[in-house]
Amino acid sequence: MEKEVYELLIIGAGPAGLSAGIYGARAGMRTVIIEKGIPGGTITTTHLVENYPGFPDGISGSQLGDLMKKHCQRFGVEIITGNVKGIKKEKVFEIQMDNGSMLSNTVIIATGSSPRRLNVPGEDRLLGRGVSYCATCDGPLFKNQDVAIIGCGNSGLQEGRFLLKFVRSITFIEFLPYVTADKILYDSIANEKNVKFLLNHEVLEINGGMRVESIKVKNRMTDEVQIINVAGVFIYVGLIPNSDFVRELLKTDDAGFIITDEDYETSIPGIFAAGDVRAKKIRQVVVACSEGAQAAINAYHFLNH
């Protein structure tokens, strides 16, 4: 029995993938999405999203992700669970998975990215025992305790605002000599009495026995080293693209982000990329949605030119 050939197969059900699904299905393409985790992607771990149009009071990341999934399914898009291991190009694209393979005429890669690690002593050993990459997931565990947030970008400050509901104090540690987050985010938290910023500082170690007890940091200007007693360490120091399964197939930049043209097409015709896995400057939910929509439209034109 011959396998069904989809017109559009999307890898990843984050905002980019779900938006691509909506536009692909509305264009009349037989569309399927493969997701190895939770539909909605990493946005589902964000406490409050305040910069997505249409929600003036903000919306929780989990709720926004669920609404996107339901919107996608409304147009008949299949969302299946699976882990994609690779892609082969023959007459059509064969998407290889842990438990078999699927066929499609076009592919959109929307696998997003994962939190970058500090790679310092204690980080791996104490993961889940005070070291976390998700304040929304783990924040309530640190009620009335002192914590550190590593990284002063938008993610770090957004999650810091959420943590203030629970913790006694937050010490922000930033490698650069300035805060990289939007000014509105910085202004919303900088004057809190239980918040401190250590800019131009580097984390050297995360210490503790069974759980995190302290961090060792160095002032990059003076080389002064200090120990800060904390019960939790939340790390937001950038992203790593989830592109390992296509790095030998597609052209990427040095960091592994997939390079596309202005139509979101990759180095192989018929394979497109959208969202945080793509090489670009701006990574925001609204941008990912736009890219997913455009990638799906261009996939449709690819099939019908």
Q: Are 46 and 61 contacting, i.e. CB atoms less than 8 angstroms apart?
A: yes
Q: Spot the catalytic one: 66, 124, 134, 187.
A: 134
Q: Spot the catalytic one: 138, 152, 276, 289.
A: 138
187 is catalytic: no
> Could you tell me the two tokens for 239?
């992203």
CA distances from 240 to 88, 117, 277 (A): 24, 9, 8
With a CB cutoff of 8 Å and minimum separation 6, the contacts of 282 are none
Instruction: Give the burial class of 188: count Cβ atoms within 10 A of its Cβ; 0-12 exposed, 13-18 middle, 19 or more buried.
Output: middle
Looking at residue 219, its amino acid is: N
Looking at residue 264, its amino acid is: Y
134 is catalytic: yes
Half-sphere exposure of residue 157: CA atoms within 13 angstroms, side-chain side: 21
Q: Could you give the CA distance from residue 149 to residue 162 in angstroms, rounded to a whole number?
A: 12
Q: Are 16 and 289 contacting, i.e. CB atoms less than 8 angstroms apart?
A: yes
Q: Spot the catalytic one: 66, 72, 98, 137.
A: 137
Q: Could you give the CA distance from residue 197 to residue 177 in angstroms, rounded to a whole number?
A: 11
Map tokens 């809190």 to a residue: 192
CA distances from 259 to 264, 278, 282 (A): 8, 6, 14
Q: Could you give the CA distance from residue 54 to residue 69 in angstroms, rounded to a whole number?
A: 17
Q: Could you give the CA distance from residue 257 to residue 113 in angstroms, rounded to a whole number?
A: 9
289 is catalytic: no
Q: Angle 192-56-290 (CA atoms, 0-180°, nearest 5)?
A: 110
Nearest in space to 222 (alpha carbons), one of 178, 190, 170, 177: 177
> What is the per-residue DSSP string for 30-46?
-EEEEESS-TTGGGGG-
Active-site annotation, residues: 134, 137-138
